[in-house]
Amino acid sequence: MKKEYAKMDVGLLHLVNKKVVLELINHNGQISRSDLAKKSGLTPPSITRIVDELIHVDGLVESLGVGNSSGGRPPVIVKFKNDNNYIVGIDLGATYIRGCMVDLNANFISEIQVPTELNKGFSSIVDKVIKVIKKLQKRKEPNSKIWGIGIGVAGLVNSETGIIESSPDFGWSHVDLRKELEKHLDLPFFYDNSTRLMALGELKMGAKENQKNFAVINIGYGIASGLVVEGNLLKGYSGFAGELGHISVDTDSEVQCKCGMYGCLEALASGHRIASLGREALLNNTSEILKELSANNESLITAELVAEAVSKGDVTSIKIYDEVAEYLCKGIGTIANLLNPETVYVGGGISLNGRLLFDLIEKKKDKYLLDANTKVKILPCTHGDQATSIGAVSLVLEKILNLELTGV
């Protein structure tokens, strides 16, 4: 029995050491075997054994040969093998389904975007996701490997069961997406809440390294947040942490949220609300520019159209954004005062419509922040409209770096 435990311990230790070495190689891009030994604390023979295994068995590392010597034995350089190793990322949104195939350094190889067409129902949406994935698979190089598929979904994803408990954007309740995808996919796949994945993308592939405390606010059709605390993605008991859109920012509001409550941040500051206020302006005849842009057709008023009216100097549309920014600052204040993040990243479709929203937030935010939190930075998400896709890719990359996948 003791020998069995000893074997288990040795195997586990080897796996832990292997993960450490792989993470060092990935983080440094390229590094010598001697530096790996110094940074990991492992012996040179252990490094040689692990690196050879990562090269010849796992296919995640490649040798660059001998480097220049500064005295003594020339260093043997290795690098993370991102070429011809791919991940597929899917952003399953209410308006578009965006798919990308990237290498392990998140360099884009191919992209596809198709309209979601919510009105056609669940089966049609699943079918579109499958077709996007299949098309991307066909675009890979003959000798390349796709390690897995990551999918970001707007909705409450139960981290234990994988069930999408609720997605107001899609009108889904208790949907088992995994069961449907397993019928069609021959690759390992993983999915999670889209905003949480945006935060994971910032953590793993964002512009600023070693940032351990930040939040991502996703402002689109709805509003949600992804939270990173001490370098860990906050999920909560069942995986539902981060529903910022459903905190009350106006207890006297008569605007009802899709969740049934009144005065929610999502009800008062989302893309849906911006469009609604734009339609009110059209009906009240308070904006000639909106009337012109929409051809006086109420059904054509969208958040994007209101943003276009802002760019043309429409006073009414600017007031709409001013109101929305006020509520958003209340939400940002709630997160900042609760978690004390270094940065709050703002993403989603509404964040992509010019500088006005960020300028208004910068102007208004301090009145909702404790003095200790006024230094918090408010920045656009690093990857713009690809933030969820990159987050989905990061979900798979984590599995690779933890040596949980073997590739297909």
The CATH code of the domain that includes 278 is 3.30.420.40
The domain tally of the chain equals 3
What mean pLDDT comes out for the span 280-309? 94
Does residue 256 form part of some domain? yes
Clarify whether residues 155 and 98 are in a common domain: yes
Residue 355: predicted pLDDT: 86
Does residue 303 form part of some domain? yes
Does residue 406 form part of some domain? no
349: amino acid identity, one letter: G
The CA-to-CA distance between both ends of the chain, in Å, stands at 36
Clarify whether residues 68 and 94 are in a common domain: no
Q: Which of 80, 113, 130 is the last residue in one of the domains?
A: 80
Residue 245: predicted pLDDT: 94
Q: Supply the CATH number for residue 72's domain.
A: 1.10.10.10
Does residue 164 form part of some domain? yes
pLDDT tens profile 68-117: 666 556 788 999 988 889 999 999 988 899 999 999 888 899 999 999 99
Clarify whether residues 139 and 230 are in a common domain: no
Clarify whether residues 333 and 184 are in a common domain: no
Does residue 33 form part of some domain? yes
Clarify whether residues 90 and 123 are in a common domain: yes
The pLDDT > 90 percentage for the chain reads 72
Domain that residue 73 falls in: 2-80
Q: Is 62 helix (H, G, I), strand (E, B) or coil?
A: strand
Residue 141: predicted pLDDT: 85
Clarify whether residues 361 and 219 are in a common domain: yes
Clarify whether residues 283 and 227 are in a common domain: yes
Does residue 407 form part of some domain? no
Residue 283: band (very low, low, confident or very high) from pLDDT cuts 50, 70, 90: very high
Q: Is 200 helix (H, G, I), strand (E, B) or coil?
A: helix
Clarify whether residues 129 and 215 are in a common domain: no
What mean pLDDT comes out for the span 159-167? 86
- In angstroms, what CA-CA distances link 28 with 67, 81, 209, 212, 278? 15, 12, 12, 19, 49
What mean pLDDT comes out for the span 127-155? 92
Does residue 173 form part of some domain? yes
Please report the sign of the dihedral spanned by the C-alpha atoms of residue 267, residue 271, residue 275, residue 281: positive
What mean pLDDT comes out for the span 312-319? 95
Clarify whether residues 76 and 125 are in a common domain: no
pLDDT at 4 over 60: no
Clarify whether residues 218 and 120 are in a common domain: no
Q: Which of 80, 113, 132 is the last residue in one of the domains?
A: 80
Does residue 121 form part of some domain? yes
Q: Which of 14, 46, 80 is the last residue in one of the domains?
A: 80
pLDDT at 408 over 80: no
pLDDT at 65 over 90: no
DSSP 242-301: T-GGGSBS-TT--PBPTTS-BSBHHHHHSHHHHHHHHHHHHHTT--HHHHHHTTT-GGG-
Q: Is 221 helix (H, G, I), strand (E, B) or coil?
A: coil
Residue 1: band (very low, low, confident or very high) from pLDDT cuts 50, 70, 90: very low
The pLDDT > 70 percentage for the chain reads 95
Clarify whether residues 233 and 373 are in a common domain: yes
| The two three-digit tokens of residue 52, written as one number | 């050879």
Clarify whether residues 250 and 328 are in a common domain: yes
Taking the model in full, what pTM does it have?
0.88
Please report the sign of the dihedral spanned by the C-alpha atoms of residue 201, residue 205, residue 210, residue 215: negative
